[in-house]
Amino acid sequence: MRDEKFKDVKLGVNLDHIATIREARKAQEPDPVQAALLAELGGADGITVHLRGDRRHIKERDVELLRRTVKTMLNVEMSATDEMVDIALRVLPNQVTLVPERREEITTEGGLDVVLQGEFIKPVITKLTAAEIAVSIFVDPEPEQIRACAKLGVSAVELNTAKYAEGKDPEKELKILEKTAKLASKLGLRVLAGHGLNYWNVREIVAIDEIEELNIGHAIVSRAVYVGLREAVAEMKALLRR
Active site residues: 50, 77, 195
Rounded distance, CA 227 to CA 231, Å? 6
List, in order, residues 6 or more apart from 96 with CB less than 8 Å away. 75, 76, 77, 78, 88, 128, 133, 134, 135, 136
Please spell the DSSP secondary structure of 98-141, one letter per residue. Answer: E----TT-SS--S---HHHHHHHHHHHHHHHHHTT-EEEEEE-S
